[in-house]
Structure 1
Amino acid sequence: MQNMYGQNSERPFILVTSEERKNILNKIEKQDWASEIYNKLLSKTNKEVDVFYKNPEKYIKQLPFNWRKQKANSFPPFYETDHVENGVHLNLDNATDEEWEPAELLIKYLQVALDCGMVYYITEDEKYAYVASSILYAFVKSVQKSKLSDWHGRGGWLFPYDGFREVRVIGYKVPLIYDFIAPYLNKNGLCFDIIKKKDVDFSKDELQHVCRTYADITINYGHTGSNHSVLEAPSLVYNALAMDDIAEREKLLSYFLTENTENQDALNVMAQNYKNKGDIWPETSQYLNHSTAIIARLMLVVNRYKPELQLGKKYSNILFALPRLDYFVYPNGEIIRWGDGHRRGRAPYEACEDGYILAKMDGLTGIKERLGGVISRVMANSEYHRSDMESIFWYNDIDEKPEEFKLSRTDRVYHAGIVMQRNLSETLKPEDGLMCFVGGAHMIHGHAEGMNIELYGEGQVLGVDNGRGRYAQDIHENYSRIFAAHNTVIVNGSSQGEGKWANLGINTVKLISMEPKVGAEGVSPYNSFSQTSFEDTGGEKAEAKQERTLALIRTSPTTGYYVDVFRSKSKLPNEYHDYLYHNIGDDLVFENSDLQFNATPNRYMANANSKWDRRTFRNPGWHFFKDLKTSNLYGDDVKAIFNTEQLIKGSIYMQLYIPGFKNREFTKVKAPHTFEAPKPYDALPTPTLVIRNNGPAWENPFVVVYEPFNENEKPTIKSVEKLEENGIYKGLKIESAVSSNNLIQYIITQSKDAIFSSEALELYFKGTFAIITLNEKQELQNIYIGEGENLIFKNEVITTNNDKSFFKAY
């Protein structure tokens, strides 16, 4: 196989070689998927070619030339693409359609040229190469008329204030077009010149200069330590491979492989993010997915060019990361959300195919079998269809059988501090599944969120993270990516990020204990838990230590609930702590008749008009809350419900039981709408609960029991009572009615190695988390120890093993 590759190959060789053409033609002729892709491309391309040949001059002149700046008898420059707000040039994240129009035209015509190049490779019909060369010729002539910007070290040729984007959407196409039509140009193939209005020779020297410049933009512009290096790397690799001088080609390629600069990480540095099997790119979901997919593709391209590098073998952990996103999902298939991540997505199956080929090249049997099994599975389930020409160039039949896809009880996203728990129902229905997670950490595109949770129930993410809309907007910078948009605790009204990326740096949520461990089956089919910690040290006014115990408790195949225990204490005097919980829905209703609410419109407005710039925000962001109503001080138990009654699939609810403690105030607000929520809640305010504890919330923490249910069933929980020892919270007694069974559950939720002793209950427990379940006759049903050393309940005496976990049904 390797004899068809090599650095001295005749063009084309970046994506495909002339030696592979016979096999590709056979694939198009005999395999339906390949012929469908090719015929669709051919039909689209022929329409453009037909228009071109009717009037080549008119066709080329549709490119975005700025004729007002034309000098005599020469190509004019292109219109530049930039974005200005309040007189300040910014990157193109929020550019208007009008501002984007020149770029869109260039991208369109360069894609036509690339399509023509690929069809020329397949057909060897020079009419396609002539169109491609004429477009490329015009581009090369005009792009050089612009001055290369040095704005903030990140400028481009055509995007003077966003060169990072220019190499991503334009720069990488140019070398690919050249590589495909090089055989035509080498035969003295001509192109049309709209200035001379005749066919002319193509200037390879000028093309080489343009490709060299785009490679240089990547090497010497931009910044390191983020996905920027990855996103720019295709332009670097493809433009390096476009160099006709082999020594120059190898030198530029070295900047992808090993030579790091102040502005660009090479592969050897990118790969350090994948130290262990299963490690992923350390950003949010869409970036980790996209980054790993790009790296895998470029590894394959370079490995094909120079097989002796064996990049798959050298950086095999990158390939292990490719399917990981499929495992960070709720039972309804939506993705857990952290930072700027989206709610929907999938693993990059095209990249899994790239990784499969790379593993096959480098003899990596285990990875080949893993990725091959993934591809076979998603093809068999019609979740993935090959769709582009690279599929025809590279992909063949998969040898492996479909993998058995199974979501584990628990999982982690280590760089994000995330600990997931899930309990899929034996009914296999998404609405009967339960899942939650706790997490928080600093990363590129991360949020200053503290120790945040999401809760799932009745087929929907109910306890939600706000997500994100367009970058650089007020709501994004002063709400979505700071504390108030998350299900967390704000300390002294002052929790914030500090330092690092975008001044959003926070500490990482640390795992204290969890059961089951990642990949383990779990000792109990019903219960799981995690205990985590967080140091809130941003700024100077929070200075808090926090601990959160989150438990998932299933009571039947269709019912269950969550227990959330959040401890928080500050080093500072006059401390107060606010517990926030956002739930999609229509409203939040309290059932306590003696809990009186009054309008408090100014409660969270202290920082509403404070300084805001690129690194200073209006923390903690809760000035975005509307329709604020706050209770009197209230120390009794509270019961409330979030009503979500406008979903297409029917009404669902989240019921809350909140044990009472002194010095508590309750506030209900309308938070901003939640991005990517189900309609209509993606456009409606998000009902939100805020509980304020005046003083430390450690010995008497925030404790909330959450039970989701739907319109066709009643909530199962009948009562919730706190368990205390000497005035200190220790756990809960929860009574519920599940079908014909009445359950009594004692749930002990302590800090690690703490002790609870109750003579009245005949109960002793040393440990972090345990559940004792009885029936209505007080008969023991089961005992679960998530983590602990000793438990005594009446006549039962349990000492755990080295795992400190235990389950027994009676």
Structure 2
Amino acid sequence: MKIKNLLLFLILLTVTQIYSQDRKRPFILVKSSERNQILEKINTQEWANEIYIDLKLKANLQVKQFYKNPKSYIKQLPFNWDENKNNTFPPFFKTTHMRNGVQENLDNATDEEWRPAELLITHLQVALDCGTMYYLTQDEKYAHVASTILYSFLKSVQKSEVSDWHGRGGWLFPYDGFREVRVIGYRLPLIYDFIHPYLKKEGKAFDIIKNKKVNFPFEEAQKVFKTYGNITVNYGQTGSNHCALEAPSLVFNALAMDDENEREKWLSYFLTESTDNQDALNIMVKNYKNEGDIWPETSQYLNHTTSILARLMLVVNKYNPSLKLGEKYPNVLHALPRLDYFIYPNNEIVRWGDGHRSAHAPYEAYDNAYALAKADGLTAIQNKFAPLINKAINNGKYKRQGTEALFWYDDSFDNESTTVDLSRTDRVYHAGIVLQRNLSSTDNPKDGLMCFVGGAHMVHGHAGGMDMELYGEGQVLGVDNGRKRYGVDLHENYSRIFAAHNTVIVNGSSQGEGGWVNLGMNSVQLIAMEPQVGKEGVSPYHSFSQTSFEDDRGDKAEANQERTLALIRTSPTTGYYVDVFRSKSKLPNEYHDYLYHNIGDKLVFENSDMDFKKTPERYMENANDTWKRNKLYRNPGWHFFKDVKTSKIYDKDVKATFYTKRLPQDDVFMQLHIPSFQNREYTKVKAPTTFEAPKPYDNLPTPTLVIRNKGEAWKNPFVLVYEPYNEKEKPSIQSVTKILQNGVYKGLKIVSKTPETKMIQYILTQSKGQVFKSEALNITFSGTFAVITLDEEEKLSSIYIGEGEKLQFKEILVTTNTENSFYKDFKN
């Protein structure tokens, strides 16, 4: 028994010593006990050695400058010497931004306004680099430089008061604490953590006021760490990416607390204890309910936010492995590659809200996910990310950089590769997006087709109604405006509201209301689609979606809308889109405007009798409405349209083409076929530049079509057929004719001549639950969407039912399966 008790005691003692050793600083990013294996990595792995050499060169340059004249070097910090009192450290200059006499956050700060912050960030990064070099080399010259910069910062920052501006104030950024913790607050605890061993053995910092080396003020450092933790916990807002963006400062400052009870208390605000101003991790992860769920914002925010959470989960897990955060919240990790599935054939991203057109995969986050999965023994996640990382490295898309890579990543993986299998259809659920793609057998991105319908309210979302984008000839041609600078007139009163989108404006009054910055609107709802997400699809040539939207914000639109968007491929190099947009208002004297923006040089109508005339005042009614940033807007935003020309009321078929002739590639065209309806007016305008369009269209107006329907547009909706083509191909569509039943629109007859054959297609588009019957065409269809294709001899080639129960064409009767879809090629 005594031997057993002795063994148990020795085991407990060993565990306690290991735990104690792990709690010996540094331990935020890396443990003191890991130093030897990291040095071995530097000596044996080329990528690790490159990171180390780069860090050493940067740090040595700054150390050399510091030791030439420490006082002069530290005086580069943005001290306000006019407030130097009693021969003590002066406060820092504040970083602020004022516009029209009003203090604002720093989104649009000028270079001059940003200068104090830039100086602080630069010197704190020097301190962090030197702290890291001290950890790796144990050379105290690095620690002395880092301690002097940190000491000087601590002394001066405490001369200021923390602002409470709008509940989002800061210390040095009094009108943007949200930004301060992201660029200043998180660096301090890391510097402290790395140089702590030097400070504990009474390593000195240089005091430029006393002009001598002094002991480090530990208690003051702890107060500063708590202040930055407090700015995160008790300032800011919940329910958005702000909580994740501020979390690194919260976690690092929590881990900088020397009292373990204090450390655990502040760390709990990240893990489980939400406040009125900060969501904890257990709340944020609710956005990842299912595997594949993504952060519910726009593209540049969703991956950034998830990457931050994955990184912090790794940091906290390393501090306390018993938490097993990877095992507890695996869907955060599964979300990281999702953005790669929302890309066009040219690798640009489907754009919604404030999202950008291009972005790179967060490969460093993949590495973090792999490291966390390895620590928690999650084999499936390791197997998911290892080939993704390996392929990115082998393809030159990813190079490991920065000290966190040095600390956390393995040397290499098995030489395996992978490709992202892009589904024929996909959905961005929180954005209301339903996308369709049809990649060509030529494997040429120019021959790929892709489109989407979407729209929803979210943080950084736009109030743009039921929006659409169209791709063709290697470019996103039917475009959303995107965004550039926040807070400016163009962004507030155009980019983020209806007129900047391919949508329908009702009674000139469609708008957002309520919710985030008063841009609230309903989500686009799915009625039907084929193929379903992840399914192969019944036909290789056809797909469709039908969606609905309620335009009920404000009190002057009050409309119900429905949109059917179909993608039809007619050959490996040709195809077209059919857009059927229904809209009706509950209000009298209704009118509806269909908008379509296409990058290009001009919009040309082939109809010579439309009698276009200048109508400069057509969209100016709300141009001078009250605008209050993030509160009130000049809806619907079309007062930004220039060179406005409008036709007479025109009730004939219309054919028009967008010319795009300044791309480096071949000239590109988007041709529109618009069947005739009563009470239609056509307007062509020059809309503002489309952001992130291909050069030179990123600096040119965007040709835009507006079609006004006086009265309801439901029984006879907006119907457009879009065909992209290039100068070497010529358009394949020969004619488009509408199909009516008792004066109500039911579909189209489209005749095409492709490089391979001539075909006739009947495109049947109805609201759900309706029946179309035509004795003249010998067609009966019960369902939402179908395509009947005939060859040039008018013999049946194929029947496609995207959603429906039954279709009869002449003697052929088709009933669908349980999924209400069907396809058959009658030629084979």
Correspondence 1:691 to 2:738: no
Give the aligned residue type for 2:581: F
Q: Report the counterpart of residue 255 of structure 2 in structure 1.
A: 241
Cα shift readout 1:707-753 (whole Å, capped 9, x = no counterpart): 00112110100100011111110111100111141111111011112
Preserved CA contact (<8 Å) 1:69 1:77: yes
* Alpha-carbon offset, residue 6 of structure 1: 7.7
Correspondent of 1:266 among 280, 294, 299: 280
Give the aligned residue type for 1:487: N
- Give the TM-score normalised by the residue count of structure 2: 0.97
Whole-angstrom distance in 1 between the partners of 2:790 and 2:18: 70
Preserved CA contact (<8 Å) 1:7 1:306: no
Correspondence 1:410 to 2:412: no
* Alpha-carbon offset, residue 346 of structure 1: 2.4
Whole-angstrom distance in 2 between the partners of 1:676 and 1:374: 27
Q: Report the counterpart of residue 644 of structure 1 in structure 2.
A: 660
**Structure 1 residues 70 and 559 mapped into 2: Cα distance closer, same or farther (>3 Å)?**
same
Preserved CA contact (<8 Å) 2:340 2:420: no
* Alpha-carbon offset, residue 381 of structure 1: 2.1
Preserved CA contact (<8 Å) 2:602 2:703: yes
Q: Report the counterpart of residue 128 of structure 2 in structure 1.
A: 114
Correspondent of 1:542 among 557, 565, 582: 557
Whole-angstrom distance in 1 between the partners of 2:755 and 2:667: 21
Correspondence 1:591 to 2:572: no
* Alpha-carbon offset, residue 673 of structure 1: 0.4
Give the aligned residue type for 1:78: F
Q: Report the counterpart of residue 531 of structure 2 in structure 1.
A: 516
Give the aligned residue type for 1:530: S
Alignment of 1:97-246 (within 5 A): 97-246=111-260
Correspondence 1:533 to 2:548: yes
Preserved CA contact (<8 Å) 2:511 2:636: yes
Instruction: For residue 230 of structure 1, give the secondary structure of its aligned residue in structure 2.
Output: helix
* Alpha-carbon offset, residue 7 of structure 1: 9.7
Instruction: For residue 672 of structure 2, give the secondary structure of its aligned residue in structure 1.
Output: strand
Q: Report the counterpart of residue 427 of structure 1 in structure 2.
A: 442
Whole-angstrom distance in 2 between the partners of 1:787 and 1:499: 35
Give the aligned residue type for 1:621: G
Instruction: For residue 352 of structure 1, give the secondary structure of its aligned residue in structure 2.
Output: helix
Give the aligned residue type for 2:328: K
Q: Which sits farther off after the overlay, 373-382 or 394-403? A: 394-403
Whole-angstrom distance in 2 between the partners of 1:10 and 1:497: 54
Q: Report the counterpart of residue 100 of structure 2 in structure 1.
A: 86
Give the aligned residue type for 2:522: N
Whole-angstrom distance in 2 between the partners of 1:474 and 1:332: 31
Whole-angstrom distance in 2 between the partners of 1:255 and 1:44: 35
Q: Which runs of 5+ in 1 are unaligned?
A: none
Whole-angstrom distance in 2 between the partners of 1:347 and 1:788: 39
Percent identity of paired positions between Structure 1 and Structure 2: 69
Whole-angstrom distance in 1 between the partners of 2:95 and 2:271: 31
* Alpha-carbon offset, residue 650 of structure 1: 2.8
**Structure 1 residues 22 and 568 mapped into 2: Cα distance closer, same or farther (>3 Å)?**
same
Whole-angstrom distance in 2 between the partners of 1:760 and 1:497: 46
Cα shift readout 1:20-77 (whole Å, capped 9, x = no counterpart): 1111111111111111111111111111111111111111100111100111221011
Alignment of 1:463-474 (within 5 A): 463-474=478-489
**Structure 1 residues 803 and 7 mapped into 2: Cα distance closer, same or farther (>3 Å)?**
farther
Whole-angstrom distance in 1 between the partners of 2:224 and 2:430: 39
Give the aligned residue type for 1:242: A
Q: Report the counterpart of residue 311 of structure 2 in structure 1.
A: 297
Whole-angstrom distance in 2 between the partners of 1:441 and 1:632: 35
Q: Report the counterpart of residue 506 of structure 2 in structure 1.
A: 491
Preserved CA contact (<8 Å) 2:674 2:721: yes
* Alpha-carbon offset, residue 403 of structure 1: 2.7
Cα shift readout 1:113-165 (whole Å, capped 9, x = no counterpart): 00111111111111111111111110111111111111111111100011110
Whole-angstrom distance in 2 between the partners of 1:58 and 1:235: 30
**Structure 1 residues 686 and 7 mapped into 2: Cα distance closer, same or farther (>3 Å)?**
farther
Correspondent of 1:723 among 739, 760, 763: 739
* Alpha-carbon offset, residue 399 of structure 1: 4.2
Preserved CA contact (<8 Å) 1:171 1:235: yes
Q: Report the counterpart of residue 345 of structure 1 in structure 2.
A: 359
Whole-angstrom distance in 2 between the partners of 1:3 and 1:661: 83
Whole-angstrom distance in 2 between the partners of 1:320 and 1:806: 33
Whole-angstrom distance in 1 between the partners of 2:44 and 2:442: 42
Correspondence 1:439 to 2:454: yes
* Alpha-carbon offset, residue 430 of structure 1: 0.9
Give the aligned residue type for 1:330: Y
* Alpha-carbon offset, residue 2 of structure 1: 13
Whole-angstrom distance in 2 between the partners of 1:131 and 1:660: 76
Q: Which sits farther off after the overlay, 117-126 or 243-252? A: 117-126
Preserved CA contact (<8 Å) 1:296 1:355: yes
Q: Report the counterpart of residue 779 of structure 1 in structure 2.
A: 795
Q: Report the counterpart of residue 321 of structure 1 in structure 2.
A: 335
Q: Report the counterpart of residue 608 of structure 1 in structure 2.
A: 623
Correspondence 1:758 to 2:758: no
Correspondence 1:678 to 2:694: yes
Preserved CA contact (<8 Å) 2:28 2:319: yes
Q: Which runs of 5+ in 2 are unaligned?
A: 1-14
Preserved CA contact (<8 Å) 1:6 1:306: no
Instruction: For residue 202 of structure 1, give the secondary structure of its aligned residue in structure 2.
Output: coil
Preserved CA contact (<8 Å) 1:134 1:192: yes
* Alpha-carbon offset, residue 4 of structure 1: 6.7
Q: Report the counterpart of residue 630 of structure 1 in structure 2.
A: 646
Instruction: For residue 292 of structure 1, give the secondary structure of its aligned residue in structure 2.
Output: helix
Instruction: For residue 170 of structure 1, give the secondary structure of its aligned residue in structure 2.
Output: helix
Instruction: For residue 697 of structure 2, give the secondary structure of its aligned residue in structure 1.
Output: coil
Preserved CA contact (<8 Å) 1:4 1:19: no
Preserved CA contact (<8 Å) 1:755 1:766: yes
Correspondent of 2:683 among 648, 667, 672: 667
Preserved CA contact (<8 Å) 1:7 1:305: no
* Aligned residue-pair number: 810
Q: Report the counterpart of residue 455 of structure 1 in structure 2.
A: 470
- Give the TM-score normalised by the residue count of structure 1: 0.99
* Alpha-carbon offset, residue 380 of structure 1: 2.5
Correspondent of 2:54 among 32, 40, 48: 40
* Alpha-carbon offset, residue 3 of structure 1: 9.6
Whole-angstrom distance in 2 between the partners of 1:245 and 1:494: 59
Give the aligned residue type for 2:277: N
Provide the alpha-carbon RMSD of the alignment.
Answer: 1.3
Instruction: For residue 134 of structure 2, give the secondary structure of its aligned residue in structure 1.
Output: helix
Instruction: For residue 682 of structure 1, give the secondary structure of its aligned residue in structure 2.
Output: helix
Q: Report the counterpart of residue 760 of structure 2 in structure 1.
A: 744
* Alpha-carbon offset, residue 429 of structure 1: 1.1
Whole-angstrom distance in 2 between the partners of 1:315 and 1:134: 40
Preserved CA contact (<8 Å) 1:171 1:214: yes
Q: Report the counterpart of residue 706 of structure 1 in structure 2.
A: 722
Instruction: For residue 492 of structure 2, give the secondary structure of its aligned residue in structure 1.
Output: helix
Preserved CA contact (<8 Å) 2:571 2:756: no
Q: Report the counterpart of residue 818 of structure 2 in structure 1.
A: 802
Give the aligned residue type for 1:267: L
Whole-angstrom distance in 1 between the partners of 2:609 and 2:794: 33
Instruction: For residue 110 of structure 1, give the secondary structure of its aligned residue in structure 2.
Output: helix
Preserved CA contact (<8 Å) 1:442 1:505: yes
Give the aligned residue type for 2:664: I
Cα shift readout 1:353-388 (whole Å, capped 9, x = no counterpart): 111111122222222211223212222222211111
* Alpha-carbon offset, residue 405 of structure 1: 1.9
**Structure 1 residues 56 and 646 mapped into 2: Cα distance closer, same or farther (>3 Å)?**
same
Cα shift readout 1:600-634 (whole Å, capped 9, x = no counterpart): 00001010001110311000000000000000001
Preserved CA contact (<8 Å) 1:325 1:346: no
Q: Report the counterpart of residue 12 of structure 2 in structure 1.
A: none
